[in-house]
Structure 1
Amino acid sequence: MSSIPATALADIQPNDRHASGECLCGAVRYEIQGILSPPSACHCGMCRRHHGALGVFTGAPVTAFRIHGADHVGWYRSSPEAERGFCRQCGSKLFWRQIDSDRLDVTMGSLHQPSGLHLDHHIWVAHRGDYYDIADALPKYAESAVGHGDQSQLSGHRPAPVPTVHEGGCLCGAIRFKVDGDMRNVVVCHCGQCRHWHGHSADYSAARTAEMALRGEGALSWYASSPGAQRGFCRHCGTSLFWRGAKNGTAASKISISAGALDGPTGLQTVRHIFVADLPDYYAISGDAERDAGSMASNPVAF
Protein backbone atom coordinates (compact mmCIF):
# COMPACT_ATOMS: atom_id res chain seq x y z
CA MET A 1 0.00 0.00 0.00
CA SER A 2 1.09 3.57 -0.36
CA SER A 3 2.49 5.09 2.81
CA ILE A 4 -0.67 6.23 4.62
CA PRO A 5 -0.23 8.77 7.43
CA ALA A 6 -1.37 7.60 10.87
CA THR A 7 -3.89 10.45 11.00
CA ALA A 8 -5.53 9.19 7.81
CA LEU A 9 -5.83 5.69 9.24
CA ALA A 10 -7.59 7.12 12.29
CA ASP A 11 -10.34 8.59 10.10
CA ILE A 12 -11.42 5.23 8.63
CA GLN A 13 -14.89 4.42 9.99
CA PRO A 14 -16.48 1.14 8.87
CA ASN A 15 -20.13 0.52 9.64
CA ASP A 16 -19.70 -2.79 11.47
CA ARG A 17 -16.99 -4.44 13.55
CA HIS A 18 -15.78 -7.91 12.66
CA ALA A 19 -12.71 -8.07 14.89
CA SER A 20 -10.79 -5.88 17.30
CA GLY A 21 -7.48 -5.71 19.09
CA GLU A 22 -4.97 -3.48 20.84
CA CYS A 23 -1.40 -3.07 21.97
CA LEU A 24 -0.26 -4.18 25.41
CA CYS A 25 -0.59 -0.74 27.03
CA GLY A 26 -3.89 0.12 25.29
CA ALA A 27 -2.62 3.31 23.65
CA VAL A 28 -3.43 1.84 20.20
CA ARG A 29 -6.71 0.04 19.54
CA TYR A 30 -8.26 -1.05 16.26
CA GLU A 31 -11.48 -2.42 14.78
CA ILE A 32 -11.81 -4.34 11.51
CA GLN A 33 -14.92 -4.78 9.38
CA GLY A 34 -15.23 -7.71 7.02
CA ILE A 35 -13.46 -10.98 6.32
CA LEU A 36 -9.86 -11.43 7.48
CA SER A 37 -7.37 -13.39 5.40
CA PRO A 38 -6.19 -16.85 6.58
CA PRO A 39 -3.33 -16.29 9.06
CA SER A 40 0.21 -17.14 8.00
CA ALA A 41 3.36 -17.59 10.08
CA CYS A 42 6.44 -15.92 8.61
CA HIS A 43 9.85 -17.40 9.48
CA CYS A 44 11.97 -14.81 7.64
CA GLY A 45 14.93 -13.30 9.47
CA MET A 46 13.41 -9.81 9.51
CA CYS A 47 10.18 -10.95 11.16
CA ARG A 48 11.99 -13.10 13.72
CA ARG A 49 14.38 -10.28 14.63
CA HIS A 50 11.67 -7.58 14.76
CA HIS A 51 9.16 -9.60 16.75
CA GLY A 52 11.63 -11.69 18.71
CA ALA A 53 9.24 -14.42 17.59
CA LEU A 54 7.48 -15.44 14.39
CA GLY A 55 5.56 -12.85 12.43
CA VAL A 56 2.00 -14.23 12.43
CA PHE A 57 -0.42 -12.05 10.49
CA THR A 58 -3.92 -11.79 9.12
CA GLY A 59 -5.09 -8.89 6.97
CA ALA A 60 -7.86 -6.95 5.28
CA PRO A 61 -8.28 -3.94 2.98
CA VAL A 62 -7.04 -0.77 4.67
CA THR A 63 -10.53 0.69 4.33
CA ALA A 64 -11.80 -2.02 6.72
CA PHE A 65 -9.72 -0.64 9.62
CA ARG A 66 -10.55 1.97 12.20
CA ILE A 67 -7.53 2.75 14.38
CA HIS A 68 -7.75 4.64 17.66
CA GLY A 69 -4.55 6.20 18.96
CA ALA A 70 -2.91 6.03 15.54
CA ASP A 71 -0.61 8.89 16.55
CA HIS A 72 1.07 6.39 18.92
CA VAL A 73 1.98 4.06 16.02
CA GLY A 74 5.61 4.20 14.91
CA TRP A 75 6.40 2.99 11.39
CA TYR A 76 9.75 1.44 10.50
CA ARG A 77 10.69 0.97 6.83
CA SER A 78 12.23 -2.49 7.06
CA SER A 79 12.76 -2.86 3.30
CA PRO A 80 12.15 -0.80 0.16
CA GLU A 81 8.85 -2.69 -0.25
CA ALA A 82 7.37 -2.71 3.25
CA GLU A 83 7.10 -1.07 6.67
CA ARG A 84 6.18 -2.29 10.14
CA GLY A 85 3.98 -0.58 12.72
CA PHE A 86 4.50 -0.76 16.48
CA CYS A 87 3.24 1.10 19.55
CA ARG A 88 5.78 3.75 20.51
CA GLN A 89 4.61 3.62 24.14
CA CYS A 90 4.95 -0.09 24.93
CA GLY A 91 6.67 -1.54 21.83
CA SER A 92 3.86 -3.94 20.84
CA LYS A 93 4.08 -5.28 17.29
CA LEU A 94 0.87 -4.40 15.45
CA PHE A 95 0.97 -3.91 11.68
CA TRP A 96 2.78 -4.72 8.44
CA ARG A 97 2.02 -3.01 5.16
CA GLN A 98 3.44 -3.24 1.67
CA ILE A 99 4.16 -0.01 -0.15
CA ASP A 100 1.62 0.70 -2.93
CA SER A 101 -0.84 -1.92 -1.66
CA ASP A 102 -4.39 -1.31 -0.49
CA ARG A 103 -4.17 -3.90 2.31
CA LEU A 104 -2.98 -3.78 5.91
CA ASP A 105 -1.79 -6.82 7.88
CA VAL A 106 -2.23 -7.09 11.64
CA THR A 107 -0.53 -9.38 14.16
CA MET A 108 -2.64 -12.27 15.37
CA GLY A 109 -1.32 -11.85 18.92
CA SER A 110 -2.80 -8.35 19.19
CA LEU A 111 -6.32 -9.53 18.28
CA HIS A 112 -8.85 -9.92 21.06
CA GLN A 113 -9.66 -13.56 21.70
CA PRO A 114 -11.34 -15.67 20.54
CA SER A 115 -10.34 -14.66 17.04
CA GLY A 116 -12.31 -17.35 15.21
CA LEU A 117 -9.27 -17.86 12.96
CA HIS A 118 -6.79 -20.71 12.58
CA LEU A 119 -3.21 -20.67 11.34
CA ASP A 120 -3.32 -21.63 7.66
CA HIS A 121 0.28 -21.98 6.41
CA HIS A 122 3.96 -21.15 6.97
CA ILE A 123 6.10 -18.96 4.70
CA TRP A 124 9.84 -18.30 4.31
CA VAL A 125 10.58 -21.56 6.11
CA ALA A 126 13.96 -21.83 4.34
CA HIS A 127 14.99 -18.96 6.64
CA ARG A 128 13.66 -20.43 9.89
CA GLY A 129 15.71 -20.30 13.07
CA ASP A 130 17.91 -23.21 14.11
CA TYR A 131 16.36 -23.33 17.60
CA TYR A 132 12.94 -24.79 16.69
CA ASP A 133 11.10 -27.28 14.49
CA ILE A 134 7.95 -26.74 12.43
CA ALA A 135 6.19 -29.92 13.39
CA ASP A 136 2.56 -29.33 12.35
CA ALA A 137 0.94 -30.61 9.14
CA LEU A 138 0.16 -27.19 7.62
CA PRO A 139 1.49 -26.18 4.18
CA LYS A 140 5.04 -24.86 4.33
CA TYR A 141 6.57 -22.65 1.65
CA ALA A 142 10.31 -22.16 1.26
CA GLU A 143 9.72 -18.48 0.57
CA SER A 144 6.54 -16.56 -0.21
CA ALA A 145 3.26 -18.42 -0.69
CA VAL A 146 2.33 -16.16 -3.62
CA GLY A 147 1.00 -18.46 -6.33
CA HIS A 148 0.74 -21.27 -3.75
CA GLY A 149 3.68 -23.14 -5.22
CA ASP A 150 7.11 -24.11 -3.99
CA GLN A 151 6.01 -26.09 -0.94
CA SER A 152 9.01 -27.09 1.11
CA GLN A 153 9.78 -30.49 2.57
CA LEU A 154 11.41 -29.85 5.93
CA SER A 155 13.86 -31.91 7.88
CA GLY A 156 13.81 -31.80 11.66
CA HIS A 157 15.74 -29.53 14.00
CA ARG A 158 19.02 -28.43 12.49
CA PRO A 159 21.52 -28.60 15.37
CA ALA A 160 24.49 -26.27 15.19
CA PRO A 161 27.56 -25.95 17.38
CA VAL A 162 26.96 -23.69 20.37
CA PRO A 163 29.03 -20.54 19.88
CA THR A 164 31.33 -19.43 22.69
CA VAL A 165 30.01 -15.89 22.21
CA HIS A 166 26.46 -15.01 21.19
CA GLU A 167 25.71 -11.71 19.48
CA GLY A 168 22.51 -10.05 18.36
CA GLY A 169 20.61 -6.82 18.02
CA CYS A 170 17.59 -4.96 16.74
CA LEU A 171 16.40 -4.80 13.13
CA CYS A 172 17.72 -1.30 12.45
CA GLY A 173 21.10 -1.94 14.11
CA ALA A 174 20.86 0.86 16.68
CA ILE A 175 21.16 -1.68 19.52
CA ARG A 176 23.66 -4.54 19.60
CA PHE A 177 24.56 -6.93 22.40
CA LYS A 178 27.13 -9.63 23.08
CA VAL A 179 26.95 -12.48 25.59
CA ASP A 180 30.32 -13.93 26.60
CA GLY A 181 29.02 -16.90 28.56
CA ASP A 182 26.40 -19.63 28.57
CA MET A 183 22.91 -18.95 27.25
CA ARG A 184 19.80 -20.85 28.30
CA ASN A 185 17.94 -22.99 25.80
CA VAL A 186 14.75 -21.46 24.43
CA VAL A 187 11.49 -21.28 26.37
CA VAL A 188 8.29 -20.33 24.52
CA CYS A 189 5.80 -18.19 26.46
CA HIS A 190 2.14 -18.27 25.42
CA CYS A 191 0.82 -15.73 27.97
CA GLY A 192 -1.44 -12.93 26.77
CA GLN A 193 1.10 -10.23 27.58
CA CYS A 194 3.79 -11.84 25.44
CA ARG A 195 1.37 -12.44 22.55
CA HIS A 196 0.25 -8.80 22.58
CA TRP A 197 3.80 -7.46 22.86
CA HIS A 198 5.52 -9.74 20.31
CA GLY A 199 2.48 -10.28 18.08
CA HIS A 200 2.65 -14.04 18.73
CA SER A 201 4.00 -16.45 21.35
CA ALA A 202 7.46 -15.40 22.50
CA ASP A 203 10.71 -17.37 22.11
CA TYR A 204 13.16 -16.48 24.90
CA SER A 205 16.68 -17.47 25.77
CA ALA A 206 18.42 -15.93 28.80
CA ALA A 207 21.85 -14.80 29.93
CA ARG A 208 23.62 -13.57 33.05
CA THR A 209 23.62 -9.78 33.03
CA ALA A 210 27.27 -9.70 34.14
CA GLU A 211 28.19 -11.58 30.95
CA MET A 212 26.25 -9.33 28.55
CA ALA A 213 27.65 -6.17 26.96
CA LEU A 214 25.17 -3.71 25.42
CA ARG A 215 25.86 -1.09 22.76
CA GLY A 216 23.32 1.63 21.81
CA GLU A 217 21.55 1.68 25.17
CA GLY A 218 20.27 5.18 24.38
CA ALA A 219 17.94 3.65 21.77
CA LEU A 220 16.51 1.16 24.29
CA SER A 221 13.07 1.84 25.79
CA TRP A 222 11.70 -0.10 28.76
CA TYR A 223 7.98 -0.70 29.32
CA ALA A 224 6.75 -1.87 32.73
CA SER A 225 4.30 -4.57 31.66
CA SER A 226 3.58 -5.59 35.26
CA PRO A 227 4.75 -4.49 38.73
CA GLY A 228 7.54 -7.08 38.63
CA ALA A 229 8.67 -7.01 35.02
CA GLN A 230 9.90 -4.75 32.22
CA ARG A 231 10.17 -5.29 28.48
CA GLY A 232 12.91 -3.64 26.42
CA PHE A 233 12.52 -2.58 22.78
CA CYS A 234 14.27 -0.36 20.24
CA ARG A 235 12.62 3.05 20.12
CA HIS A 236 13.60 3.45 16.44
CA CYS A 237 12.48 0.19 14.80
CA GLY A 238 10.37 -1.35 17.58
CA THR A 239 12.31 -4.62 17.83
CA SER A 240 11.35 -6.69 20.91
CA LEU A 241 14.63 -7.49 22.64
CA PHE A 242 14.54 -8.13 26.40
CA TRP A 243 12.45 -9.11 29.40
CA ARG A 244 13.73 -8.57 32.93
CA GLY A 245 12.30 -9.09 36.39
CA ALA A 246 12.51 -6.90 39.46
CA LYS A 247 15.81 -5.07 39.92
CA ASN A 248 16.37 -6.38 43.44
CA GLY A 249 17.34 -9.90 44.48
CA THR A 250 18.36 -12.72 42.18
CA ALA A 251 16.12 -11.58 39.29
CA ALA A 252 18.56 -8.77 38.51
CA SER A 253 21.38 -11.26 37.83
CA LYS A 254 19.71 -12.62 34.66
CA ILE A 255 17.95 -11.17 31.62
CA SER A 256 15.71 -12.89 29.08
CA ILE A 257 16.65 -12.27 25.44
CA SER A 258 14.38 -12.76 22.43
CA ALA A 259 15.75 -15.71 20.49
CA GLY A 260 14.83 -14.05 17.21
CA ALA A 261 17.14 -11.13 18.01
CA LEU A 262 20.17 -13.44 18.15
CA ASP A 263 22.49 -13.74 15.17
CA GLY A 264 22.43 -17.28 13.82
CA PRO A 265 23.30 -19.99 14.14
CA THR A 266 22.41 -19.92 17.83
CA GLY A 267 23.16 -23.56 18.70
CA LEU A 268 20.09 -23.46 21.00
CA GLN A 269 17.03 -25.70 21.22
CA THR A 270 13.42 -25.12 22.26
CA VAL A 271 12.95 -27.11 25.46
CA ARG A 272 9.86 -25.73 27.24
CA HIS A 273 6.46 -24.12 26.67
CA ILE A 274 4.98 -22.06 29.51
CA PHE A 275 1.56 -20.52 30.21
CA VAL A 276 -0.04 -23.03 27.85
CA ALA A 277 -3.30 -22.57 29.77
CA ASP A 278 -3.47 -19.15 28.07
CA LEU A 279 -3.19 -20.62 24.57
CA PRO A 280 -5.37 -18.67 22.08
CA ASP A 281 -7.62 -20.22 19.47
CA TYR A 282 -5.58 -19.54 16.33
CA TYR A 283 -2.73 -22.04 16.78
CA ALA A 284 -1.81 -25.28 18.52
CA ILE A 285 1.50 -26.32 20.07
CA SER A 286 3.40 -29.00 18.18
CA GLY A 287 6.58 -30.85 19.02
CA ASP A 288 7.61 -32.75 22.14
CA ALA A 289 9.11 -30.00 24.35
CA GLU A 290 7.87 -29.96 27.95
CA ARG A 291 4.74 -27.92 28.73
CA ASP A 292 3.74 -25.99 31.84
CA ALA A 293 0.22 -24.67 32.38
CA GLY A 294 1.65 -21.54 34.05
CA SER A 295 5.10 -20.27 34.88
CA MET A 296 8.19 -22.43 35.32
CA ALA A 297 9.14 -20.72 38.61
CA SER A 298 9.07 -24.00 40.55
CA ASN A 299 11.11 -25.86 37.91
CA PRO A 300 13.11 -23.40 35.77
CA VAL A 301 15.25 -24.39 32.81
CA ALA A 302 18.83 -24.25 34.07
CA PHE A 303 21.90 -22.98 32.24
Structure 2
Amino acid sequence: MSTYLSGGCQCGAVRYRIRGVPTNPHLCHCRMCQKASGNYALPLGFVAHQDFELTRGTPAWFHSSGLVRRGFCAACGTPLFFEPLDGDGLNVTLGALDEPERAKPALQSGQDSRLSFFHALADLPEEAATVSADWMAAVARKTHQHPDHDTAAWPPKDD
Protein backbone atom coordinates (compact mmCIF):
# COMPACT_ATOMS: atom_id res chain seq x y z
CA MET A 1 0.00 0.00 0.00
CA SER A 2 1.28 3.46 -0.92
CA THR A 3 2.63 5.76 1.77
CA TYR A 4 0.92 8.59 -0.11
CA LEU A 5 -2.74 9.32 -0.61
CA SER A 6 -4.08 11.60 -3.30
CA GLY A 7 -7.34 13.43 -3.68
CA GLY A 8 -9.06 16.30 -5.37
CA CYS A 9 -12.22 17.84 -6.64
CA GLN A 10 -14.86 16.32 -8.86
CA CYS A 11 -13.71 18.04 -12.06
CA GLY A 12 -9.96 17.49 -11.53
CA ALA A 13 -8.98 21.17 -11.54
CA VAL A 14 -7.57 20.90 -7.98
CA ARG A 15 -5.54 17.85 -6.96
CA TYR A 16 -3.35 17.17 -3.93
CA ARG A 17 -1.17 14.51 -2.36
CA ILE A 18 -0.57 13.75 1.31
CA ARG A 19 2.03 11.61 3.05
CA GLY A 20 0.35 8.88 5.10
CA VAL A 21 -3.32 9.01 5.96
CA PRO A 22 -5.15 11.85 7.71
CA THR A 23 -5.17 11.74 11.49
CA ASN A 24 -8.26 12.36 13.61
CA PRO A 25 -10.66 11.19 10.90
CA HIS A 26 -14.10 12.29 12.07
CA LEU A 27 -17.59 13.35 11.11
CA CYS A 28 -18.30 16.96 12.04
CA HIS A 29 -22.00 17.68 12.62
CA CYS A 30 -21.63 21.40 13.39
CA ARG A 31 -23.98 23.70 11.54
CA MET A 32 -21.09 25.46 9.78
CA CYS A 33 -19.85 22.14 8.32
CA GLN A 34 -23.41 21.22 7.33
CA LYS A 35 -23.73 24.46 5.39
CA ALA A 36 -20.22 24.23 3.89
CA SER A 37 -20.82 20.72 2.56
CA GLY A 38 -24.55 20.94 1.85
CA ASN A 39 -24.86 17.72 3.80
CA TYR A 40 -25.84 16.35 7.22
CA ALA A 41 -22.20 16.04 8.34
CA LEU A 42 -18.73 16.64 6.91
CA PRO A 43 -16.08 13.89 7.11
CA LEU A 44 -12.67 15.49 7.83
CA GLY A 45 -9.15 14.36 8.66
CA PHE A 46 -6.06 16.34 9.71
CA VAL A 47 -2.88 16.62 7.63
CA ALA A 48 0.19 18.58 8.74
CA HIS A 49 1.35 21.24 6.27
CA GLN A 50 4.67 19.45 5.71
CA ASP A 51 2.76 16.30 4.65
CA PHE A 52 0.51 18.12 2.16
CA GLU A 53 1.22 19.16 -1.44
CA LEU A 54 -1.01 20.65 -4.13
CA THR A 55 -0.29 18.83 -7.40
CA ARG A 56 -2.73 20.63 -9.72
CA GLY A 57 -4.54 23.93 -9.61
CA THR A 58 -5.23 26.37 -6.81
CA PRO A 59 -8.23 26.14 -4.50
CA ALA A 60 -10.50 29.10 -3.85
CA TRP A 61 -10.99 30.04 -0.19
CA PHE A 62 -13.91 31.22 1.91
CA HIS A 63 -13.30 32.56 5.43
CA SER A 64 -16.22 30.90 7.22
CA SER A 65 -15.22 32.55 10.51
CA GLY A 66 -12.47 34.73 11.89
CA LEU A 67 -10.52 31.59 12.80
CA VAL A 68 -11.03 29.30 9.81
CA ARG A 69 -10.96 29.26 6.03
CA ARG A 70 -12.44 26.59 3.77
CA GLY A 71 -10.88 25.58 0.46
CA PHE A 72 -12.95 24.46 -2.51
CA CYS A 73 -12.72 24.13 -6.27
CA ALA A 74 -13.90 27.33 -7.96
CA ALA A 75 -14.71 25.36 -11.14
CA CYS A 76 -16.97 22.60 -9.76
CA GLY A 77 -17.61 23.69 -6.15
CA THR A 78 -16.26 20.58 -4.40
CA PRO A 79 -15.46 21.30 -0.71
CA LEU A 80 -11.85 20.20 -0.12
CA PHE A 81 -10.28 21.74 3.00
CA PHE A 82 -10.97 23.17 6.45
CA GLU A 83 -7.96 25.15 7.67
CA PRO A 84 -7.56 26.91 11.03
CA LEU A 85 -5.71 30.16 10.29
CA ASP A 86 -3.21 29.73 13.12
CA GLY A 87 -2.73 25.96 12.77
CA ASP A 88 0.09 23.77 11.56
CA GLY A 89 -2.04 21.89 9.07
CA LEU A 90 -5.44 21.53 7.49
CA ASN A 91 -8.30 19.08 7.42
CA VAL A 92 -9.11 17.43 4.10
CA THR A 93 -12.63 16.30 3.26
CA LEU A 94 -12.42 12.51 3.42
CA GLY A 95 -14.86 11.96 0.57
CA ALA A 96 -12.53 13.85 -1.80
CA LEU A 97 -9.74 11.31 -1.24
CA ASP A 98 -9.12 8.89 -4.10
CA GLU A 99 -9.22 6.06 -1.55
CA PRO A 100 -11.66 7.21 1.15
CA GLU A 101 -11.77 3.69 2.62
CA ARG A 102 -8.26 4.36 3.98
CA ALA A 103 -9.56 7.10 6.30
CA LYS A 104 -12.42 5.54 8.26
CA PRO A 105 -13.90 8.07 10.74
CA ALA A 106 -13.02 7.29 14.35
CA LEU A 107 -15.18 9.87 16.14
CA GLN A 108 -17.89 12.52 15.75
CA SER A 109 -17.80 16.19 16.68
CA GLY A 110 -20.35 19.02 16.71
CA GLN A 111 -22.94 16.69 18.25
CA ASP A 112 -25.10 19.62 19.40
CA SER A 113 -26.04 20.20 15.74
CA ARG A 114 -26.33 16.53 14.77
CA LEU A 115 -29.69 16.01 13.09
CA SER A 116 -32.12 13.90 15.11
CA PHE A 117 -32.53 11.29 12.34
CA PHE A 118 -28.82 10.87 11.53
CA HIS A 119 -28.44 7.70 13.59
CA ALA A 120 -31.23 5.99 11.59
CA LEU A 121 -29.93 6.67 8.05
CA ALA A 122 -28.38 3.20 7.71
CA ASP A 123 -31.79 1.66 8.37
CA LEU A 124 -33.48 3.33 5.38
CA PRO A 125 -34.63 0.99 2.59
CA GLU A 126 -32.14 0.63 -0.26
CA GLU A 127 -32.86 1.23 -3.93
CA ALA A 128 -32.84 -1.92 -6.05
CA ALA A 129 -29.25 -2.69 -7.07
CA THR A 130 -30.22 -3.08 -10.75
CA VAL A 131 -31.76 0.42 -10.85
CA SER A 132 -28.65 1.85 -9.26
CA ALA A 133 -26.30 -0.13 -11.52
CA ASP A 134 -28.11 0.91 -14.70
CA TRP A 135 -28.09 4.57 -13.69
CA MET A 136 -24.42 4.51 -12.69
CA ALA A 137 -23.44 2.79 -15.97
CA ALA A 138 -25.29 5.48 -17.96
CA VAL A 139 -23.59 8.25 -15.99
CA ALA A 140 -20.16 6.61 -16.42
CA ARG A 141 -20.54 6.65 -20.21
CA LYS A 142 -20.89 10.45 -20.22
CA THR A 143 -18.96 11.45 -17.09
CA HIS A 144 -16.87 14.58 -16.71
CA GLN A 145 -15.74 13.49 -13.26
CA HIS A 146 -12.02 13.09 -12.66
CA PRO A 147 -11.07 9.44 -11.97
CA ASP A 148 -9.92 8.30 -8.52
CA HIS A 149 -6.22 8.49 -9.39
CA ASP A 150 -3.72 11.09 -10.53
CA THR A 151 -3.60 11.94 -14.22
CA ALA A 152 -0.95 13.79 -16.20
CA ALA A 153 -3.61 16.05 -17.69
CA TRP A 154 -7.33 16.54 -17.35
CA PRO A 155 -9.67 16.47 -19.12
CA PRO A 156 -8.43 13.97 -21.69
CA LYS A 157 -7.56 15.50 -25.07
CA ASP A 158 -10.28 13.57 -26.94
CA ASP A 159 -13.13 15.21 -24.96
Q: TM-score, normalised by structure 1?
A: 0.40
Q: Offset of 1:36 from its aligned partner?
A: 2.0
Larger helix fraction of residues: 2
2:55 aligned residue = 68
Contact 1:40 1:57 in 2 (8 A): yes
What amino acid sits opposite 1:42 in the alignment?
C
Q: If you compute each CA radius of gyration, which structure gives the higher value, 1 or 2?
A: 1
- CA distance 1:27–1:37, shift in 2 (3 Å): same
What amino acid sits opposite 2:54 in the alignment?
I
Identity %: 33
Q: Offset of 1:60 from its aligned partner?
A: 1.2
Contact 2:7 2:15 in 1 (8 A): yes
- Separation (CA, whole Å) in 2 of partners of 1:89 and 1:79: 23
Answer 1 or 2: higher relative contact order, Cα 8 Å, separation at least 6: 2
- CA distance 1:114–1:82, shift in 2 (3 Å): closer
Q: 2:126 aligns with which of 282, 291, 298?
A: 291
Q: Does 2:81 match 1:95? A: yes
Q: Offset of 1:17 from its aligned partner?
A: 4.9
Contact 1:19 1:115 in 2 (8 A): no
What amino acid sits opposite 1:58 in the alignment?
G
Size of the aligned set, in residue pairs, is 130
Residue by residue over 1:115-169, the C-alpha shift from the partner in whole angstroms, topping out at 9 and shown as x without a partner, is 4221111111111234x2325xxxxxxxxxxxxxxxxxxxxxxxxxxxxxxxxxx
- Separation (CA, whole Å) in 1 of partners of 2:64 and 2:100: 30
- Separation (CA, whole Å) in 1 of partners of 2:108 and 2:125: 23
Contact 2:43 2:94 in 1 (8 A): yes
Contact 1:43 1:122 in 2 (8 A): yes
- Separation (CA, whole Å) in 2 of partners of 1:289 and 1:95: 30
Q: Does 2:118 match 1:120? A: no
- Separation (CA, whole Å) in 1 of partners of 2:19 and 2:45: 13
Q: 1:25 aligns with which of 7, 11, 16?
A: 11
What amino acid sits opposite 2:45 in the alignment?
T
Contact 1:38 1:117 in 2 (8 A): no
Contact 2:5 2:21 in 1 (8 A): no
Runs of 4+ displaced beyond 4 Å: none
What amino acid sits opposite 1:66 in the alignment?
E
2:42 aligned residue = 55
What amino acid sits opposite 2:18 in the alignment?
I
Q: Does 2:30 match 1:37? A: no
Contact 2:17 2:53 in 1 (8 A): yes
Q: Offset of 1:34 from its aligned partner?
A: 2.9
Contact 2:21 2:103 in 1 (8 A): no
- Separation (CA, whole Å) in 1 of partners of 2:8 and 2:112: 31
Residue by residue over 1:159-192, the C-alpha shift from the partner in whole angstroms, topping out at 9 and shown as x without a partner, is xxxxxxxxxxxxxxxxxxxxxxxxxxxxxxxxxx
2:119 aligned residue = 134
Aligned Cα RMSD in Å? 2.2
- Separation (CA, whole Å) in 2 of partners of 1:58 and 1:85: 14
